[in-house]
């Protein structure tokens, strides 16, 4: 809950929530399935301009973000946390301008694992992955890190950069 509190304390973080809201997930070190990943039941949402969680984290509470994290962990097991934020070209440009490496998630791969693997740059996975979306799909920026508190710190920084 420390990470959720940090996000709630950042006044501009809620502006980065996608329309479909967001989940913040963190996995056990040796997670192999969704039930070994904690997420926020009901997703992170905005109330009075602040990020809030409707419930405490629970194992298996996230499906999509957890599946993405499992694929990320196959490439880089040290990345045990993930969160989606709203996609825009401007946000990607701001992230890149502040030195964070990014990778566009390619379409047309046969599996999620193959999609994540194709994002390797010099044998390393960038901490920021993104998709512009498509027909009936909202774009997303996926932040990955070693733990949920680092994710909250990164998202707070991105929110501050975007508000300048």
Q: Tens of pLDDT along 38-90?
A: 999 999 999 999 999 999 999 999 999 999 999 999 999 999 999 999 999 99
107 or 25, which is more confident: 25
- 1 confidence band (pLDDT: 50, 70, 90): confident
pLDDT of residue 54: 94
Quick count: other Cβ atoms within 10 Å of Cβ 29? 9
Q: Find the range with the poorest average confidence among 2-16, 44-58, 122-136, 144-158.
A: 122-136
Sign of CA dihedral 42, 45, 50, 51: positive
Query: DSSP for 58-95?
Result: EET--SHHHHHHHHHHHH-TT--EEEEEE--HHHHHHH
d(CA 97, CA 95): 5
d(CA 89, CA 67): 25
> Could you tell me the domains of the chain?
2-163 (3.40.225.10)
């Amino acid at each position: 809950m420390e990470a959720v509190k940090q996000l709630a304390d950042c006044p501009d973080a809620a502006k980065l929530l996608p329309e479909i809201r967001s989940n913040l997930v963190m996995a056990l070190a040796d997670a192999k399935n969704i039930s070994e990943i904690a997420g926020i039941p009901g997703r992170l949402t905005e109330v009075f301009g602040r990020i809030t969680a409707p419930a405490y984290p629970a194992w298996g509470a996230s499906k999509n973000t957890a599946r993405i994290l499992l694929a990320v962990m196959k490439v880089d097991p040290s990345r045990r946390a993930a969160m989606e934020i709203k996609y825009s070209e401007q946000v990607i440009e701001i992230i890149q301008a502040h030195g964070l490496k990014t990778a566009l998630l390619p379409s047309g791969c046969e599996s999620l694992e193959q999609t994540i693997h194709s994002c390797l740059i010099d044998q390393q996975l960038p901490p920021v992955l993104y998709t512009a979306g498509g027909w009936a799909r909202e774009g997303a920026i996926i932040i990955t890190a070693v733990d949920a508190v680092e994710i909250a710190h990164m998202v707070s920084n991105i929110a501050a950069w975007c508000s300048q």
